[in-house]
Structure 1
Amino acid sequence: MIGTGGSPQRWSTQRWFASVLIAMVVLVLAGAAVGAAILAHTAAVSNRLSDRISPARTAVVELTAALVDQETGVRGYLLSGDERFLEPYARGVAGERTLLGRMRQLLIGEQVALADLDRVEAQARDWRTTVADPSIEARRRGGDSSTTVDAVLAGKTAFDAVRDRIGTLDGHLAGVREQARRDLDGARRLRDSVFLGMVGFLLLFITAIAVLLRLVVLEPLDRLSTGVRRVAGGDFDHRLAVRGPADLARLTGDVETMRQRIVDAFIASEQARAKLEQQQLELHRSNADLEQFAYVASHDLQEPLRKVASFCQMLQRRYSDQLDDKARQYIAFAVDGATRMQRLITDLLTFSRIGRVYDDSRSVDLDEVVGQAEANLGGAITERRARVERPPLPTVPGDVTLLTMLWQNLISNAIKFRHPERDPVVRVTVAEAGARWQFSVEDNGIGIDPRFADKIFVIFQRLHSRETYSGTGIGLAVCKKVVEFHGGEIRLDDTYSDGARFIFTLPREVTTPELATASADLASADLASAGASADLAPATADGQPALGSR
């Protein structure tokens, strides 16, 4: 195509494809019209043969059988005088009427066959009116045997004429069927020839289109893709040449612009990566400082508190008889303050280590874990006559130490916040919830006001005074952090009013019993090690380590 000024104007890829598409649509529509006409003709010929001619021949056989039944019934009655022989005669007459009506519907347009059918009907009717019915009436009036034999012979002769007429009809139908078969074969050959020609023409057309598109579109695309791969391979300075259809040329220009922007972005990202590496080094140093602070908090900061508490207690024991009540009260305040400071430091360390120090994920048998938690709380359970009811618990992926903290805190809180008028009962349930296990821990204690459902999971938030219930207010915060670290959720069930019920989820996993036992043993070992390293943690009234409270 020539543009203004005599320079050739490029067709766009869209225009090339539109032209090809229009040509293919025209070809398909023409082929569809021709194919539809051929198929319609073939179907008409086939339907005439299968739906009309063949059923008509079958009806001729059935009509012959109906007429034979009539003749046989009449002959049997004339020879025996038994009325039962007239039943086939009556059935044959009824069947003849039905078959004649059906055959007239089937042979519409077949004038010769219809004329033969009319003759068959007329001869059958004449045979009944002139031979069959008079012979039956004569036999009923008691005709002699010679008359009966003559009637039988006369009826057979007349019926043979009817048979001959049916044979003529069947012969005409056989000829019509053979002609229909020849017409169907011709229609099929024509159909096959047309479709083969259409397929051949379509293949030639597709080949021509493929060659044209290869030269006009695909080769420029190949050159563009080669240049893009070269740039992607690291040769960022390689410039892409603009060739091919108009839109492909625009695409090449856009890709070239994108290449330049990518080069600029790559340079900027290299600079940002260097800056990020520097920040990462600083973060590592900061984490190392935090680890050092944790070490100091767990050892050095607690040493002065231990001394304050120890020497105050020694002062009280040695000079108790020289101190008045106010002095002994001041010493008790000092010991209690040092003890509470130790507990706060220990609980803060525990809270900060979740997901950082305790992060040894494996398959954990919760039956073993909850059993270990119950053993740790054995003194409190026995002292307060508590009862823990639980079903068999599943195996979940997680950290043994953290999961033991979770269950021990929940059961400990259920026992601690008991109702003054009844013994504590802790009930544990478990159910499947999609890809997770859903657990609930409920008690019959004093319960929690639903207004504080969110507040109870905040660190150091307390709902009761320290004098009423001991603890630092970190227990449920630890539970929330442990559950969320394992990919679950925990909440207070505000619909439960007979105490407190906590519902939480943990991921599901199928594990072997051997792996679960090993995990539970490791849980016991980790807890023992944790208890040895945190010897400054204060004890509750039952002698168990205080992991926090709600």
Structure 2
Amino acid sequence: MTGRWRLTSQRLFALTIGAMTLLIAIGSWAGWASLADTTAVSDRLQQRISPAATAVVELGAALLDQETSVRGYLLSRERQFLDPYDAGQETERRKAAELRRLLADEAVALAGLEKVEAAATQWRSRFAEPLITAADPQSPLVVPGKAAFDALRADLTGLRQQVDVARDSGRQALVHSRQQRDTIFVVIVGGLLAGLFVIALTLQRAVLGPLDRLQGAVRRVADGDFEHRVPAGGPSDVAALAADVEAMRERIVAALAESRAQEDKLRRSNSDLEQFAYVASHDLQEPLRKIASFCQMLQRRYSPQLDERAQQYIAFAVDGATRMQALINDLLAFSRVGRVYDNVTEVDLAATLRRVRSDLAPRLEDTKAEIECPELPVVHGDPTLLAMLWQNLISNAVKFRRPDADPRIEIAAEPDGAMWQFAVQDNGIGIEPQFEDKIFVIFQRLHPRDVYPGTGIGLAICKRIVEHHGGRIWLDPQYTSGARLCFTLPAAP
């Protein structure tokens, strides 16, 4: 099966199924024929020969009744002694008819039956009837009549022997048929087993073997050995599949090489980004510090000489420089997520939350904030990033509180398959559902800066931290008594 004449696995399976069907059909036909022959031989023996032997015995009894009845009548001369004679003739006719039906295919026995019937008829016409008419026990017909009946009994014995011969022959034929049947069944079973073995061997070599080799090669490639070639063999469709997998492997190898090249570029780009972050955190903030410092010195030294508008302009300059510094610091924090902080380990969130609450203790006391929290689980992640996550979420809940109510923050946690799902809800001013996507975008603000301070990057950092850990974060639109933020984190192994 090579080249363009190679069969597909579907056709191979169709051929094997056809071969199995043919074997089963031949075996079924042979078994049926053997059973039919055995049944026919058994039926001949049980339904014809054996009943014929019984009928011969009954026929002999009917003839003997006739002879005994004639002798009894001659001795007693009473008519009642002839009743068995008449009944014996009726039984003789019935049994003779039954024997002719049962022995229709037995020519020798049938001839013996005719001989017995002829002898019986001759005995009755020549001796029995004349003796009954004469009613004389001293009649000269008694002695020859007895001799004639003895000859009739000899013919009946011959008929019985012929039936016994037929019965013995039938028994031997039944034994032979059963032996032949058993032999045929053994041959059928052996042939089926041999056929199944040949079919299984053919499938193993032609289909299953190539599939196993293909599976092994694919698993080896899947385990990371991308340089291992996938061999093509077996039926045409399996070979085509192997060729497709090999083409896919080659594309993966090419894509991997390109990815490694891009990774090298990305590594260099990250190095440049780290250099930029260093410049941003030092060189860019230095002029801003100078602007703010000199503006403040100008305000202190020349305050008596400046009017209210000049004082306002200086305040604007100082505020702008301060906000620029805050924006730079927040940008640095945002860029460090997943790059600088990536120490993945098992993190006890309960301990992490205690540290965050300790850091925020002055602000929580000033606002009289209450935090209700259950026992938190251990998750898989970076301790610094997860602390930053809790700090941003709790700070937001405190910052966006209602002016007429003390902040109340409730934290919930429940398992969700291989993840843990958390919820942080407050009784603050809440977030409208239409702003669900906007709140997680960097520098997006929903409120004026003079009402709620900040750069608008807190929830963007939360989203980046959660997604870096393989989870997701969203706003619960069903909660209307404040804001309820939900997120997932991977459970510890």
Alignment length, in residue pairs? 337
Structure 1's 470 and 192: CA in aligned 2 closer, same or farther, altered over 3 A? Answer: farther
Q: Is 1:427–1:441's contact at 8 Å kept on the other side of the alignment?
A: yes
* Paired letter, 1:198: F
Identity over aligned pairs, percent: 47
Hey, what does 2:436 align to over in structure 1?
453
**CA distance, structure 2, for counterparts of residue 490 and residue 235 of structure 1:** 41
**CA distance, structure 1, for counterparts of residue 210 and residue 349 of structure 2:** 61
SS in 2 for 1:281: helix
1:503 matched to 2:478? The reply is: no
**CA distance, structure 2, for counterparts of residue 442 and residue 268 of structure 1:** 49
- Provide, for residues 506-527 of structure 1, a one-character-per-residue CA deviation record: whole Å limited to 9, x for no partner: 22237xxxxxxxxxxxxxxxxx
Alignment of 1:365-384 (within 5 A): 365-384=348-367
* Paired letter, 2:408: V
**CA distance, structure 2, for counterparts of residue 461 and residue 292 of structure 1:** 27
Question: Residue 430 of structure 1: CA displacement?
Answer: 2.0
Hey, what does 1:24 align to over in structure 2?
23
**Which stretch has the larger CA shift, 397-406 or 201-210?**
201-210
**CA distance, structure 1, for counterparts of residue 375 and residue 253 of structure 2:** 56
1:251 to 224, 229, 236: 236
Alignment of 1:313-352 (within 5 A): 313-352=296-335
SS in 1 for 2:412: strand
Structure 2: which 5+ runs fail to align? 1-6, 40-176, 221-226
Hey, what does 1:402 align to over in structure 2?
385
- Provide, for residues 169-208 of structure 1, a one-character-per-residue CA deviation record: whole Å limited to 9, x for no partner: xxxxxxxxxxxxxxxxxxxxx9999678635532245336
* Paired letter, 1:300: D
**CA distance, structure 2, for counterparts of residue 228 and residue 389 of structure 1:** 58
Q: Is 1:488–1:505's contact at 8 Å kept on the other side of the alignment?
A: yes
* Paired letter, 1:24: L
* Paired letter, 2:395: S
Hey, what does 2:459 align to over in structure 1?
476
**CA distance, structure 1, for counterparts of residue 194 and residue 280 of structure 2:** 82
Hey, what does 1:283 align to over in structure 2?
266
Q: Is 1:20–1:209's contact at 8 Å kept on the other side of the alignment?
A: no
Hey, what does 1:198 align to over in structure 2?
185
SS in 2 for 1:429: strand
Question: Residue 366 of structure 1: CA displacement?
Answer: 1.1
Q: Is 1:367–1:392's contact at 8 Å kept on the other side of the alignment?
A: yes
Hey, what does 2:83 align to over in structure 1?
none
Question: Residue 416 of structure 1: CA displacement?
Answer: 0.9
2:346 to 363, 368, 375: 363
**CA distance, structure 2, for counterparts of residue 15 and residue 440 of structure 1:** 59
1:487 to 470, 480, 491: 470
- Provide, for residues 149-179 of structure 1, a one-character-per-residue CA deviation record: whole Å limited to 9, x for no partner: xxxxxxxxxxxxxxxxxxxxxxxxxxxxxxx
**CA distance, structure 2, for counterparts of residue 410 and residue 458 of structure 1:** 15
* Paired letter, 1:251: S
**CA distance, structure 1, for counterparts of residue 457 and residue 487 of structure 2:** 18
Q: Is 2:27–2:188's contact at 8 Å kept on the other side of the alignment?
A: no
**CA distance, structure 2, for counterparts of residue 310 and residue 192 of structure 1:** 118
Q: Is 1:390–1:428's contact at 8 Å kept on the other side of the alignment?
A: yes
**CA distance, structure 1, for counterparts of residue 425 and residue 209 of structure 2:** 71
- Provide, for residues 98-137 of structure 1, a one-character-per-residue CA deviation record: whole Å limited to 9, x for no partner: xxxxxxxxxxxxxxxxxxxxxxxxxxxxxxxxxxxxxxxx
**CA distance, structure 2, for counterparts of residue 257 and residue 426 of structure 1:** 58
**CA distance, structure 2, for counterparts of residue 402 and residue 484 of structure 1:** 11
Q: Is 2:16–2:199's contact at 8 Å kept on the other side of the alignment?
A: no
Structure 1's 368 and 205: CA in aligned 2 closer, same or farther, altered over 3 A? Answer: closer
Structure index of larger Rg:
2
Hey, what does 2:370 align to over in structure 1?
387
Structure 1's 335 and 217: CA in aligned 2 closer, same or farther, altered over 3 A? Answer: closer
Structure 1's 343 and 28: CA in aligned 2 closer, same or farther, altered over 3 A? Answer: farther
TM (norm. structure 2) is 0.57
Hey, what does 2:408 align to over in structure 1?
425
Structure 1's 191 and 472: CA in aligned 2 closer, same or farther, altered over 3 A? Answer: farther
Question: Residue 462 of structure 1: CA displacement?
Answer: 0.7
**CA distance, structure 2, for counterparts of residue 400 and residue 192 of structure 1:** 85
Structure 1's 321 and 199: CA in aligned 2 closer, same or farther, altered over 3 A? Answer: farther
**CA distance, structure 1, for counterparts of residue 436 and residue 251 of structure 2:** 48
Question: Residue 280 of structure 1: CA displacement?
Answer: 3.8
Question: Residue 224 of structure 1: CA displacement?
Answer: 8.8
Structure 1's 436 and 203: CA in aligned 2 closer, same or farther, altered over 3 A? Answer: same
**CA distance, structure 1, for counterparts of residue 214 and residue 15 of structure 2:** 24
Structure 1's 497 and 31: CA in aligned 2 closer, same or farther, altered over 3 A? Answer: farther
SS in 2 for 1:316: helix
* Paired letter, 2:426: D
Question: Residue 436 of structure 1: CA displacement?
Answer: 2.4
**CA distance, structure 2, for counterparts of residue 223 and residue 272 of structure 1:** 31
**CA distance, structure 1, for counterparts of residue 232 and residue 368 of structure 2:** 84
* Paired letter, 1:287: N
Hey, what does 2:129 align to over in structure 1?
none
Structure 1: which 5+ runs fail to align? 1-9, 41-189, 241-247, 511-550
Alignment of 1:183-222 (within 5 A): 198-199=185-186, 201-207=188-194, 210=197
Alignment of 1:38-57 (within 5 A): none
Question: Residue 330 of structure 1: CA displacement?
Answer: 1.4
**CA distance, structure 2, for counterparts of residue 390 and residue 257 of structure 1:** 56
Q: Is 2:380–2:492's contact at 8 Å kept on the other side of the alignment?
A: yes
**Which stretch has the larger CA shift, 268-277 or 287-296?**
268-277
**CA distance, structure 2, for counterparts of residue 458 and residue 335 of structure 1:** 27
- Provide, for residues 307-338 of structure 1, a one-character-per-residue CA deviation record: whole Å limited to 9, x for no partner: 11122222222332332222221111111111
**CA distance, structure 1, for counterparts of residue 431 and residue 459 of structure 2:** 13
